[in-house]
Amino acid sequence: MKLYYANLSPYTRKVMATAIITGLTDKIETIDLMTDGKFTPTPELKKANPLGKIPALLLANGETVVDSPVICEYLNTKSVKGSIYPKEEQAYFFQRKLEALADGCTDATLLRRYESVRPPELQSAEWDAKQKEKMTLSFQYFDSVASKLGTSEFFIGEISVVAMIDYADIRFPQENWLSTAPNLKKWYDQVSKLPLFSETAPKK
Ligand SMILES: N[C@@H](CCC(=O)N[C@@H](CS)C(=O)NCC(=O)O)C(=O)O
């Protein structure tokens, strides 16, 4: 399998962490689309994913799998090791909720980032505030459920939350998002140095 990839991409990181849990790292060849510090959607990527977004996974049969929740789910079906989903129903949907909200918060962070690099006269403070509120409310939510997050066994929810936190920190370090969420910070400090997260961490 080939993965259109960028080390800084929080969605790609979900896929890389899933590959570790499912024992598929060696089966995935990465194609880095951010070699010069700037993400460049190549014609090959746009052919694989008409949205021109990463991650996109190319299969041996020529088919592609797009969107990180779907790619992670696909890898999970091919697992030779562990699973990114708990078996029990309530725990499963809690993890999927964490994933959906963390991805949504990351979407807001990414949109703010895109806005911040437009020419200053085109930037909208109103738009930024709207996206920032999504981040604020999401961090509040994750802080409120921090005691329910795993500290030794990790599923797709915890993976997505760590990807979300690190991406917010990379793009908006001056906003120090974890300082707004003390319970989440405590959890993050406990888990972020573990191999699953340190081995997939973005290289700043
Ligand atoms: N929902 C998608 C989001 C993917 C996404 O937005 N990726 C970013 C990079 S981190 C991207 O490719 N952006 C380029 C663009 O929006 O044109 C997923 O979960 O995979």
Domain end point (choices 28, 50, 77)? 77
Is residue 145 assigned to a domain? yes
Counted residue by residue, the chain has a size of 204
Residue 28 sits in the same domain as residue 99: no
Residue 12 is encoded by which pair of tokens? 């790609």
Is residue 84 assigned to a domain? no
Which residue in this structure is represented by tokens 């696909």?
Answer: 74
pLDDT at position 51? 98
Number of domains in the chain: 2
Residue 186 sits in the same domain as residue 104: yes
Q: Which CATH number characterizes residue 48's domain?
A: 3.40.30.10
Please list the rounded mean pLDDT of every run of 10 residues in the chain (204 residues).
Answer: 97 98 98 89 96 98 97 98 98 98 98 97 97 98 98 98 98 98 98 98 88
pTM: 0.97
Any atom of ligand 1 within 6 Å of the Cβ of 68: yes
Residue 145 sits in the same domain as residue 118: yes
Please give the distance, rounded to the nearest whole angstrom, from the Cα atom of residue 88 to the centre of ligand 1. Answer: 30
Report whether 150 contacts 109 (CB < 8 A).
no
Is residue 83 assigned to a domain? no
Any atom of ligand 1 within 6 Å of the Cβ of 49: no
Residue 110 sits in the same domain as residue 70: no
Please give the distance, rounded to the nearest whole angstrom, from the Cα atom of residue 54 to the centre of ligand 1. Answer: 5
Q: Integer distance in angstroms from the first to the last C-alpha of the chain?
A: 27
Q: How far is residue 38 CA from its own chain's centroid?
A: 18
pLDDT at position 35? 86
C-alpha 33/C-alpha 41 separation (Å) is 7
Report whether 106 contacts 48 (CB < 8 A).
no
Q: Quote the domain boundaries for residue 111.
A: 89-198
Residue 23 sits in the same domain as residue 119: no
Would you call 202 helix, strand, or coil by DSSP? coil
pLDDT at position 37? 82
Residue by residue, DSSP assigns 42-93 as -HHHHHH-TT--S-EEE-TTS-EEESHHHHHHHHHHT-SS--SS-SSHHHHH
Residue 108 sits in the same domain as residue 192: yes
Is residue 204 assigned to a domain? no
Residue 67 sits in the same domain as residue 109: no
Q: Which CATH number characterizes residue 166's domain?
A: 1.20.1050.10
pLDDT at position 40? 87
Please give the distance, rounded to the nearest whole angstrom, from the Cα atom of residue 108 to the centre of ligand 1. Answer: 11
Residue 109 sits in the same domain as residue 194: yes
At 132, give phi and psi (nearest 5°): -65, -35
